[in-house]
Structure formats: structure tokens, C-alpha cells
Structure 1
Amino acid sequence: MPAEFIGVRHHSPACARLVAARIAELRPAYVLVEGPVDMNDRLDELLLGHELPIAVFSYLRAEGGTRMSWSPFCDHSPEWVALTAGRAAGAEVRFIDLPAWHSAFAERDNRYSDGALRYSEVTARLCREFAVDNSDTLWDHMVEVHADLDPVALAERLNTYFDVLRGETTISTADDDRETYMAAWVRAAVAAAGDRPVLVITGGLHRPALIPLAATGGTAWPEVPTPPAGSEGDSYLVPYSNRRLDAFQGYQSGLPSPGYYERLWADGPARAAEGLLESVATRLRDRNQRVSTADLIAARTQAGGLAALRGHPHPARTDVLDALVSALVSDGLEQRLPWTSDGTIAPGAHPVVVQMVAALTGDRVGRLHDATPAPPLLSAVDGELAALALDRAGRVTLDLTGERDLRRSRVLHRLRVLGIPGVRRTSGPTGGADPTSAEVWELTETDLRLPALIEAAAYGATLPDAAAVLIRRRVTDPDTGVAELAAALYDTALCGVDALSSDLGERIADRVATASDLGAVGAALGTVLGLWRHDRLLGSAGSPVLAEVIDAAATRVLWLAEGTHGGTGPADVPRLHALAALRDALRHAEPVVGVRLVDVLGVAQRIATRADVPPDLAGAGLGLSWALGAPGEVHVPTAPNRMGDWLAGLFALAREEVLADESVLATLDGHVADLGDDDFLVALPALRQAFAFFPPAERETIAHGLLARRGLRRSARALLRTTVDPVLAAEAAALESRVEDLLVREGLLPGSSPQTPEGTHD
């Protein structure tokens, strides 16, 4: 007897009902389901009695990286119904698709993603024909709201739709490989079943190809593939959530609004529409959004009218949503409603629309049965947390100078790097040169922790191994910027893991050597230099890998700085910090820096004297020379639009040298005193930024000198404590001066007379 094929849309309640009806009627010998064959020996584990949604999480870890994929199931997934109803009917149930770690899934992270189905030209034509907005609305219009369709009529409708779709859709080589493999399972099952039926449930796009492929060929049971040599692959069950299933959140499979389709599966389309109205109203009211009884009556009435107008026996999802928008949103919408287009909900959507979409999503989170096998990483983490008293919620304060607290810190940082929810550091050291040795963490309980840990097992069986693999992946990713590279290196030290090697250092150095963002390269140099110099606490001081990165970054900062020209401000603080990092590298790590000091001084002096260099960089050039022992002549610019930015560069690089030489501040004091009110107002913001490079104690020293030069006996500290914004005070003084000039000119002040403009006669 030939097999019967049912093509479905993933997570469709209508398709799930059809699968259940056909299994009940046929009582097949075999039920074959699109799903990972490596789980066939573990179907009992899949059917333990979990709370859905759940997913089969699969990974492949190899030298080139780690690939992960999910095969999710919810109550109304046709594949799930096939498993449960088939097992209940006494059938042999088998998954028949390639494992998710197979190369056929290299370009996708979800087995059931149907990009070709959602965006094909045939669905676009059908949308135009039926005057609907997108493929999801089209599917509801053709299938989901027609609960009265008998299984035969529904199957005919689905077959027609998928046959037309497959006839005009280009299929990838990977899908060809999957279909060839699935067809081999069908042939073997048909041969083994004899005269009993075989039912095959796959995505509708595969059905037209599987029918002819299953008609001819061998009948031996196919082998289950194993991971390629030199790699490791496995699959585990993980809790899933409605949010992760929702197309509005970016899930490219099945249907959007899983909370709505849960209601549709449980109660039918009429009650699902009523439930949608209630859930939206409840959610909005809980968030203090006004929803009156009159609003709901209007929405219910409009939903019924739209359903009748669109030929629906019951209000469909978009009928209800359109009616709710009409009843609840009175102001203009700046973007399309999310259910009228394919894609995620965009930032800036109307608040009521956002809450409507959230109500449709639902808040269900899956839960695994207690007997579900877990990857080794979970028991390893649980053991470490218990041994270190980190297995409970609350605040944890650590002293990193203590061996036990340092170990606890490393465990928490490994969890943080792996993205495990419920682990958050609120304070602690931020760089290798940061003297802080105390950390504070907040640990909270969350249902998201278990799935995150199971998925983190793709990186390793122990916490140090998993963190090291993930950090290594970050630093080898070609899209990672140089500043992020430095952060990854710092995470290596915080986690206490060996994620670096000499060849990796070479690759990072090569990336730094070709970067074009001076500020980012400088940030990387500062971070790595701090680790190389100071972090004996974290174990990275003197690392040869870090030394290699320091050399590359210092050379690149020098090259980029000399190549910068044009612009007048404001001061670019990141590039000033970059030159400061170069200064520190030459002061403290000269043995590992390949560029010679004399060459650095030459570049610094050229930057300081070239006319086309931005003022902040010119000041930094002089400051770099001065800080490295080759002071040049200080000429503070007098132009109000350059003075403050130039000083910012000087102060950023040679703050201590400036404080030690009273003549610089005295010269600056004279220039500022000579500024007119308007020029002072122009110069003031940049001057404030420049003096921000001095810490409070040093600013007080400068204020003391300022008072002394004027022969004033006042508190320097009080001079720094203004109750009014200095820029606002300067603007007020300038305004008063202009008003006074105007009054004098017009003769409105006592003892003044109107002034005759030059060149005119009375």
C-alpha cells in the first residue's frame, strides 16, 4: 500500500487537527514525521510529559566554530500531534529528516524555517488575488478560520496550495539532500508495513517532491548520520517559549501570534476571537491604558463586520486586530501595522499596537519533565555553584584578593560571558589597570536559566571550557571590532580561562593593524596594556600574546594619528585617549613596542605643528612630546574656537607636566582675560571640557594659582563650587552687557544721550 502524504504548515492548528483525524481513521502501521532522526532512539524522552513549548536543541562543535539549531514543538504543532497521536494509536513513530547538525542545515538555525514558503512569488500573487496583506493573513483566510471543513476538503485545499507553491519555488541543494533522505525512510516503512497504511507528515513544501522520490528506489532502512570526524554533535531537549515562537519577534517559521493560535487550537476560531479581545483589553488596562466597555463593544462589532466583508465564517486574527486599532487608536500611525507586512515589529510602534502584539504572543514558557536527561554542563555548573555558595538568590560581595572569592568571581564571569540569565555584576574592576579589587553581583532566580545553560553546552562540557570556546569565537569573528576584541581579552582574564594562543594573538594583531578607527584602536591598546602591566591578580600580566597585540596597536595608533587632518572640533575624546594609551605603552611597555621612541617623537612634533591638524590633536601632539621627555615651545592658540580644544589635547597627554610648569597656566590666564564677552562665550564649553581632564584636587591647585595671580585671598575650593551652570552664567553676563550697550546707544541710561551712527547727520 503506498504511503499517504500530508503537507503541513508548521505550528498550524488546522493542520494539526487534520493529522489527528487521519491517524484516528487510518490506524497506520508507521507515522513518519519531519524531524531529527538522531532523536528516534530517544522518543520516550521526548514524550515524558513536558509542558510545551519545548524544542530539540542540536549542536555541532568543530575546529571552525559551533553551529546550533532548534526544532521547536508546541501543542498545536502538526509534528507534535503526529508523535503523540501516532504513539497512542499503536503506530511505529519515526523522525525521518537529517540531524540538525548536518551540513544541510548549515545556513539555518531552525529546522522549520520556511523562508521560501513565506516570501515566494506565488503567495504574493495569491495575496493580490484575495486582497490580503501577507502570507500569514492569506493562510488564515484560506485555512485557519474554516473550522467546518471536513478532513478531505481541507487536505485537498492544502495539497492544491502546496503543489502550486512547489511548482514555482526554487529549492536549495540542501533541501534536495533532505528530501532524498526522507524518501528513503518512506520506502523502507512502506516495505515493512506490508498491506497496512503509512502516514507521512512533512512541511507542505516537501510533499510534492517526496511523492515521486518515494515511488522508486531501495527499501533498506537508512543509516543515521554521525558527526564528521574531528567534531562533536549532540541533541538535547530545552524549554521554549511563545516569544521565541513568534514571527513578530523574528521567528521565521510557522505562524505569528502563538498565544492566539493556542486559543484557536483549544477552543476554535469563534472563541479565539473573543479571547483575543479580552486578553488585549486586560493587558492594556493592567498598564493603565484606558479601554472602556464602549470601546470593546465597538471593536467586537467591527470585527464581526470585517469578517462578513472578507468572507470569514468567524472573525479571523486580523479582523480582530484591525477592529481593535479602529476602536482604541485615535491618533495617526507613523508606520505600518505589523500584521500587514512580513517581518518583526519595528521600534517606535504605537504603544497600544505593541501591547496588542504582546497579548497575541502570550507568555507561556515550557517546562521539561524532571526525568529529562541534561548535558554534562548542567551538573558541572550546579556542583560549582553549590560548592561556592552561589546557588541562591541575593547580593554577593567578593574580595578578589582572596583565593576563594577569586574562584567565585571567575565562575560568575563565566556564566556572564555565556549569557546565562540571573547573573549580573553591579560593580567591579573595569580594566587591567583598575585598582578596584571588590566586586558586587546580583543573583536572581529565573525560568530562562535552564534553557540558556542547555544551549551553552554546545560550547563545552565544563564551565571553563564553554567560556573559553565562546570567547575564542568572539575574537576570531571577522565582524568583531577592535574595541570588542579588547573586551574579549579582558573577559579571558576575568574568567580565568585559556582562550588565547600564539596564533590567535597573531590574528588579533593583524586585525588591529588594519583597523581604521583611532579611538577604537586606542581603547583596545589601553585595555590590553593594563592587562599586560598590572593583572597579576587575574593572571594575565606579562602575557606574550598580549604583548603582541600591544605592539600592533601602538604602531596603528601612531599611523592613524599622523593621517588625521581637517576639522575644527569639538575635541574627540576617544582619539585623545588613544594617544594617551600610546604614551603609556612607551612609558611602561617599551620593550614590547616595535616602534622607536625617536620616531614617535617625530610624528608627535609634526602633528603639533602642522596647520591642517584638528586643534585637539595638535595639542595632543605637543603633550605627547612633552610627556615623553621632549618638550616643545608652548603657544596657546588665541582663537576662541580653537583654544579649548587645543588645551584638551595638551591636558589629556601632559596634565602632570602642565601642573609643574606655572608658565603655561599663567599664559592661558592672560589669553582668557583678554577675551571679549562674546569670544569668551564661544570658548567656554571647550575650556570646561579641557579642564575636566584634571581631577578635583588638581583643579583646586589651579584655582589657588589663579587667585594668587590676582592677589585675592579666597577659598580655591569654594571657587570650584558654583551653584549655577557656568555656561548659563556667562550667557547671562553677555546678555546683560549687550542690553547695557543698547541702552547707552539709545540714551536710556541716566547721563547718556542717543548716539548718532557714524556717517550720518542730524
Structure 2
Amino acid sequence: MTAGAVPAGRAAPPDRPAAPERRGPATDAPADGRSAGQWGSGPLLLGVRHHGPGSARGVRAALDATRPACVLIEGPPEADGLLPLAADEEMRPPVALLAHAVDDPGRAAFWPFAEFSPEWVAIRWALAHGVAVRFIDLPAAHSLAAADATGDEVDEELRIDPIGELARTAGYDDPERWWEDVIELRGTTAPDDPTAPFAAVAEAMGALREAHGDGGHARDLIREAYMRLQLRTARKEFGDSVAVVCGAWHVPALARRTTVGADRALLKGLPKVKTETTWVPWTHRRLARRSGYGAGIDAPGWYGHLFAAPDRPVERWMTKVAGLLREEDRIVSSAHVIEAVRLAETLATMRGRPLAGLGETTDAVRAVMCDGSDVPLDLVRDRLVVGDVLGEVPADAPAVPLQRDLARLQRGLRLKPEAQERELELDLRKENDAARSRLLHRLRLLGIGWGEPVAGRGSTGTFRESWRLRWEPELHVRIAEAGVWGTTVDSAATAKAEARALEATALAEVTALAEQCLLAGLGEALPVVMTALADRAALDSDVGHLAQALPALARSLRYGDVRATDTAALGEVAAGLAERICVGLPPACAGLDADAAAEMRGHLDAVHGALGLLPDSAERTDRWSGVLRRLADRDTVPGILRGRAARLLLDDGRLDEDEAARLMGLALSPGTAPADAAAWIEGFVGGAAGGGMILVHDERLLSLVDDWLTGVPGDTFTDVLPLLRRTFSAYEPGVRRTLGELVARGPSSTASRPEAGTPGFAASLDEERADGVLPVLRLLLGHDEPEGADR
């Protein structure tokens, strides 16, 4: 994309150097650019580093000193009509220009601006002084047309890293530290001529381009040709009283003497698409290079502080850090702040830096305020060095109708978008919380992932929902894409649900869609979804597909009860599926290999849980218990399914302990292959939460497992070991420890024949073992044992 532009929803490849997008300040070259001093020798070319506070201060000083009649800025010309909004009081950076193809909203790009971006400073200066301001980069109509559907440009070569080259020439091994020393920590203004620093770096950029050609970046040549044409147009109107703010790498090209014909020839035949542009909020986190933004910076929060601090930036920064750590209940005093400032300044002196930079302040904070720990330091990096600042745009900024409806709903529900991740607990019995839930579910159906459902920390009832919310700038692109479905969130979600129902081919997909419609309160879409559901259910005879579909229907019936939704039609379909599963499951479980059996076990658990959510039906419950019993008794059914069926029956009280022990004894008999026996054990005691507790409380079953395991031949033991490890490693540490102690102690004399009604316990009290507990009880209760007491 264009310099400073970020493909929407697409991270730059990790091997793409960010430095080419980090332009160092530069000025005019001798041909068409003006030399420092007076107007009349060419336009003022101010080469900058995108999102560089030093460049931003320098641009402001240069514009104040030269007072141009027109300011040209690297950016998409389609956004010229949006520039006046930058002066609106409601506009608070970071913000970004968003351009997307009208026919394909997913093909989009952003041009971000922070408060400390030189381009933003130039825009605000021009608007404040009544000066003409325009964008002059290659139009987004061409840039987006040259990109594929994912936002990547085609056949782009990477230019050299100019900052890295200059840093290496200066003897630095860290380009970022060199830039801080030369620009950010010294300032960019000279007492006699604010344009002088730009001239110096422009000369360096010219030397780099002369040494390396034009960096091998063919796309740059096209962009620079367009910028030269725009510069010529502005000069015809304003003469040489024109200032250009662009990436420093482009300055030598803009100052180069070329013909109009040659520049137009480079632009001839470029593809073009119809585009729309608007302002959208951006975040400091998305300005960070680690987010994938090619022109990103390491520390947006730190740069914002350097730009905004009127004086004593190190002292002010340490005060911010201390405030953050105090909010997190860490003991940080004024003395800590003073000592941290002193240490940072000492480190800067030792390292030969003009002022303590981010490295020195970070080292000082770690040593003085964090006691050498990186844990609180990570909080400082996340909250301050990067930051969670979310910009704002005026309400009257252009937006698709869907965006306006969403903004209205957000205001009405008091659900403000925030850059920082937060959790939201909803009680669906409250009208406002129920409306919030419907909105978040509708957005998820539209592919707008503002919120993700999470497991609640409190009640697990159907009246509770927990969400994790985080607003990302890329969601604006998702909103633009979803705008094709409707002008409101409700109508768009309904239309998309109906379209998905008609297109779906898998039964489970339709049942999941029905669940989504109930959660989102899309009553108008349900008839279409239910028709599709009935059609797919009638045609699908695969038991696995039916088993996948039933849980979503059962949950839908449960949610419908909470939301007072008529789910009679869903109930009929669910009952029909349950009946067909009961008929088809036994033959479908015969003769399966290990992988298919493991998959069918998941279906078995899901169906068992789903049937428990359906309206009570004694006949259905008896029918399902009979199916499980047939599975448990059939030798042709894989061991993992026989064991699982036996365990489900035991848990439901449909199988007594003696019968469970008999089935286990048969499965673990010497005539059973060790692998099949191990699979039976996995089905019986593995997977489910608390599966191992049955062995803890029933020593008879544990003894059967122990006897079988000790009798496995050595040549086959290694074959069953991975299966057994997978089974027992899933247990809680306390359960594993208790099982180990029981096996080490060996079976009690009565373990094989416990009294009726007391499974897993001896017939009489073991006084010696009971006496061993008494000292611990006295210690817990705070009672001292009397000397000579009779225990």
C-alpha cells in the first residue's frame, strides 16, 4: 500500500523490515526543492518519519517560520473532503483514514495518524491558519485495485532500510536508538533556521538513493510520479509558497527534475476501483510495530509523552509510571521517583546519550520501582510504553448506515467501545443486559468480533452470560463488509442468517445457526432456518451428523426458555433426531477403528448431555438407557465405546456397582487383547471431569485395574502405555496422588467383598488408621492433646 497505509485486517509479513516506512527528516534537494531561507527557490520539502514526535515538532516549527500558502501531505487524495473534520473538537487522535473498495469492502487500507504524527501536525496547522491543505499520494482507487483481496500488493520488492543504513554509518547497532539520539531527544529545531535539520537528512537520503538506486521498490516510482504531478499543480496555483510533508525517502524524488510526460507515462494504464473513505478511531496498540503495521513504532505511548511533555520529560514519565504502579497496589514513593530519575540520567551519561531515552528509563524503573522484576515492568510496557488509547471521530463523519445504527445502539445500551480488553457479565433477566446480549450475538453472526463469549466465573445457569470485549480498528472494515446485508444490525443479521440457512449443506451447520438465531433474538429468521433444518434432517441418515446436530438443538430449547421464545418447532425436530439416533447408533458403532471410535465417543457424550436438556420424557430416557446397555454388552463395539456406555449408565443409576464390576472384569480378562482392554478403561474412567474418583471410592474397581495392569505381558505393555498415560494424566493431581497411595498400600482385606451399600469401604472400623487422623484434627481445632490421654 502507500507509505503509512496499513492493509485492513492484515498483518505485515514478519520478515518485512519496518524501517523503510520510518522516514528520517529530510528536506529539499537542489533542483526543484527550496533551500533553507527564503521563498522563490522552490517548494519547501519536509521529509519526515511517520509517527515521529521529533519530526512533528520540526514540521510545526518550520511551518510557523515559513508560513506557506499551501500544505501538501502524503496521503490518499480521495480524503481531501474529510480534512476539515480534523479541526473538529470531537476529533481526538489516534485516528485513521479508512479507504475501501465499494464493491469489495474487505479490500481496504488505513492511513493512521497520532497526535505526534508530523502529517497530523501539518493538517492541524493548515486548518488553524486558513491555509489550503491537500493529500498528494497515489489515489486509493489505484492502490486498492493493485492489491489482492487480502490487502497485499502484488509484485512488491522491499526497499532498503534507510534508518538502519544511516545508523550503521554513524556506528550504531540499533537504528531506533540512533534516531532517538539524533532527533527525538535533541529536538529538530535549530535556533536560526528550523528547516536546517530537514536539509541535513534530505542530503543523507539523496546519498542513499544514489548509492542504492531507488531502493528497488517499483511501486514507489509510480507514487512519486503522481506526487510530482500534484506538486506541479499546486505550484501553478500558489507559486513556490508550497510546503510538502512526506516520508523522507521520497524527498530526493520530489526534488528531481522530470518531465510531465515521463511522469504521466508511469501512471498510464493503472487499474482502478471505486472507493469510499472516512475517518475511524485508531489505537496506540495498532500503531505499535508488533501489531504488524509496516510503519509502526515500538513505543507509541512513550513518543506521545515526548511530544506532549512541555519540559522535564524524564521526571514527568517517572511520575506516570509511579501512578500506574500505585494503582496496582505496589508501594512506590516520591523517593522512588527521584532515585529512578537520577539513575536514568546517570545511565544516559554513561552511555553517551543527550538525554535519558526509553532504554534508560526502563532500566531505571526495573531497578528502582520493580525490584528487578519484569512482571510489573510488563504492565508498564503494556499500559504506558504502548498504551490503550482509543481515538474518537465526530459523529457527522461519513459512515455506512450499519455503522450509524451500531453507534446508536452502543449509546443506548451504554456499551462504549474500548481498546483495552474487559470482561462483561450479563444477567439476562434484566432488560438492558438481555439487549446487550442480543447485540453482541448479532454482531458475531455478522462476523464483527467485538465480543467473545467466555466461561463465567459465577453462576453457570442460563440466565448468565460472560463476554470478553475489545474494540479493534479493523472492525470498521468488518462493519463495511456486513453493510451489504442491511442498514441496521437487526436487518443485516436477519438477512445473513436466512442466506446461510439456504446455503448450508451440513445438518450441524443449520442447527448451530438456529442456536445463533435464538441467542441473537432473530425471530424473523427462524422460520427460514427451521424450514432448512427440517429439510436437512429428513435427508441426512448419517448417525454422526445427527449426533453433531442434536446438542445445538437441545441448547436452543434451553435458551428459548430463558428468552421466552416459542421453540415448539425446534422441540419436534429435536425429538425426531433423538429417536433416529437411538435406532441408528448401535449398528453405527460396530466395527469402528480406533480413530473413528474416539470420534464416536465424543458424539456419545454429546448426545447423552443433550438428551438431559430436552423436555422430560420417561420413554425417551428408557430408550436411551437401552441403547447404552446394548453398546456396553456387544463384543463388536470398540472397547472405548463399551467402557463409556457402562460409565454413563453407572452415573445415571441405571447400572449397579456389582454389574459395573462384572463388565470391567470381562473387559480386563486375560482373553481380551491388551489394547482393547486399555481402550475400555479409557472409556470408563477417562475424559469426563472427576472420572478418576470412581476408582478412589471403589477399591474393588481399582483392584481389577491393578491386577490387569500387572498382568499385561512385557512385549505389549509399551503398546498400551500411551493410552493409559493419556487416561490417567487427565486426572487432578490430588486424584493421582490418592490412587498412587491406594495402589502402594494394596487392597484391604475386605476390598473384594464390601458390605452392601458401602462400596469401596471396609466392613468394620480400622482403629489404627483412624487413630492416625486424631493428631491432625486436634491441630486444626486448636486443642492440645492431654498428657497420657486415652485415644
TM-score (norm 1): 0.60
- Partner Cα distance (1:246, 1:474) in 2: 37
- Partner Cα distance (2:149, 2:359) in 1: 29
Aligned AA (1:303) = A
Q: Which residue of 1 aligns with 2:37?
A: none
Aligned AA (1:301) = R
> For 1:266-313, what per-residue CA distance to the aligned partner results, in whole angstroms no more than 9, with x for missing partners?
336x62222222222222233233445565444333322332344332
3-state DSSP of counterpart to 1:206: helix
1:688 and 2:681 are equivalent in the alignment = no
Structure-to-structure mapping, 1:51-62, within 5 angstroms: 51-60=91-100
Q: Which residue of 2 aligns with 1:284?
A: 325
> For 1:135-188, what per-residue CA distance to the aligned partner results, in whole angstroms no more than 9, with x for missing partners?
322211221112275123311332144335554674545444433332221121
- Partner Cα distance (2:342, 2:76) in 1: 46
How many residues are aligned here? 604
- Partner Cα distance (1:671, 1:660) in 2: 15
> For 1:705-744, what per-residue CA distance to the aligned partner results, in whole angstroms no more than 9, with x for missing partners?
x9xxxxxxxxxxxxxxxxx97766554443333999xxxx
Does the aligned pair in 1 maintain the 2:144–2:151 contact within 8 Å? no
Query: Unaligned stretches of 5+ in structure 2?
Result: 1-39, 417-423, 537-542, 577-583, 611-622, 702-732, 750-791
Does the aligned pair in 1 maintain the 2:60–2:121 contact within 8 Å? yes
Change (3 A) 1:689 1:371: same
Q: Which residue of 1 aligns with 2:726?
A: none
Q: Which residue of 1 aligns with 2:602?
A: 577
1:92 and 2:132 are equivalent in the alignment = yes
Alignment match of 1:216 (pick from 260, 277, 287): 260
3-state DSSP of counterpart to 2:352: coil
- Partner Cα distance (2:131, 2:568) in 1: 59
Q: Which residue of 1 aligns with 2:273?
A: 228
Change (3 A) 1:533 1:414: closer
Alignment match of 2:202 (pick from 130, 155, 159): 159
Change (3 A) 1:584 1:412: closer
Alignment match of 2:443 (pick from 415, 430, 437): 415
Change (3 A) 1:169 1:324: farther
Does the aligned pair in 1 maintain the 2:451–2:470 contact within 8 Å? no
Aligned AA (2:298) = P
Alignment match of 2:306 (pick from 231, 243, 264): 264
Change (3 A) 1:459 1:210: farther
1:147 and 2:178 are equivalent in the alignment = no
- Partner Cα distance (2:594, 2:604) in 1: 15
Query: Unaligned stretches of 5+ in structure 1?
Result: 334-348, 428-433, 476-480, 510-517, 548-554, 586-622, 707-723, 741-762
- Partner Cα distance (1:171, 1:462) in 2: 47
Alignment match of 1:15 (pick from 40, 55, 66): 55
Structure-to-structure mapping, 1:717-732, within 5 angstroms: 730-732=739-741
- Partner Cα distance (2:602, 2:312) in 1: 63
- Partner Cα distance (1:190, 1:376) in 2: 39
3-state DSSP of counterpart to 1:66: coil
Alignment match of 1:354 (pick from 363, 372, 379): 379
1:67 and 2:62 are equivalent in the alignment = no
Q: Which residue of 2 aligns with 1:31?
A: 71
Aligned AA (1:206) = H
CA drift of 1:124 comes to: 4.1
1:667 and 2:711 are equivalent in the alignment = no
1:199 and 2:243 are equivalent in the alignment = yes
Structure-to-structure mapping, 1:166-565, within 5 angstroms: 166=209, 167=212, 170=215, 172-193=217-238, 195-212=239-256, 216-217=260-261, 228=273, 233-247=275-289, 251-267=293-309, 271-291=312-332, 295-328=336-369, 350-362=375-387, 364-369=389-394, 371-381=396-406, 390=413, 410-417=438-445, 419=448, 440=464, 456-460=479-483, 461-464=487-490, 467=493, 491=516, 494-495=519-520, 496=522, 565=594
3-state DSSP of counterpart to 2:60: helix
> For 1:48-82, what per-residue CA distance to the aligned partner results, in whole angstroms no more than 9, with x for missing partners?
22352142342535666613432222222111121
3-state DSSP of counterpart to 1:136: helix
3-state DSSP of counterpart to 2:391: coil
Does the aligned pair in 1 maintain the 2:225–2:263 contact within 8 Å? no
Change (3 A) 1:156 1:733: same
- Partner Cα distance (1:656, 1:352) in 2: 50
Does the aligned pair in 2 maintain the 1:681–1:727 contact within 8 Å? no
Q: Which residue of 2 aligns with 1:736?
A: 745
- Partner Cα distance (1:157, 1:666) in 2: 88
Change (3 A) 1:26 1:469: farther
> For 1:457-513, what per-residue CA distance to the aligned partner results, in whole angstroms no more than 9, with x for missing partners?
4421321465479989999xxxxx9999996785466444879999xx9xxx9xxxx
3-state DSSP of counterpart to 1:7: strand
Aligned AA (1:191) = K
Percent of matched pairs sharing the same residue: 24
3-state DSSP of counterpart to 1:49: coil
Instruction: Give me the CA root mean square deviation.
Output: 6.3
- Partner Cα distance (1:482, 1:135) in 2: 57
CA drift of 1:577 comes to: 1.5
Does the aligned pair in 2 maintain the 1:395–1:442 contact within 8 Å? yes
- Partner Cα distance (1:156, 1:104) in 2: 35
- Partner Cα distance (2:50, 2:276) in 1: 24
Change (3 A) 1:177 1:528: farther
Does the aligned pair in 2 maintain the 1:179–1:206 contact within 8 Å? yes
- Partner Cα distance (1:654, 1:407) in 2: 41
Q: Which residue of 2 aligns with 1:750?
A: none
Does the aligned pair in 1 maintain the 2:302–2:386 contact within 8 Å? yes
Does the aligned pair in 1 maintain the 2:514–2:556 contact within 8 Å? no
CA drift of 1:326 comes to: 4.1
Structure-to-structure mapping, 1:574-653, within 5 angstroms: 576-578=601-603, 627=627, 634-635=634-635, 645=640, 647-651=642-646
Does the aligned pair in 1 maintain the 2:302–2:385 contact within 8 Å? yes
Aligned AA (1:278) = T
- Partner Cα distance (1:543, 1:163) in 2: 76
- Structure number with greater CO (CA < 8 Å, separation at least 6) is 2
3-state DSSP of counterpart to 2:187: coil
Change (3 A) 1:282 1:471: farther
Does the aligned pair in 1 maintain the 2:188–2:197 contact within 8 Å? no
Aligned AA (1:203) = G
Does the aligned pair in 1 maintain the 2:181–2:354 contact within 8 Å? no
CA drift of 1:405 comes to: 12
Which range moved further: 368-377 or 38-47?
Answer: 368-377
Change (3 A) 1:537 1:207: farther
CA drift of 1:658 comes to: 11
- Partner Cα distance (1:726, 1:685) in 2: 16
Aligned AA (2:685) = R
Q: Which residue of 2 aligns with 1:43?
A: 83
Aligned AA (1:689) = G
CA drift of 1:15 comes to: 1.2
3-state DSSP of counterpart to 1:147: coil
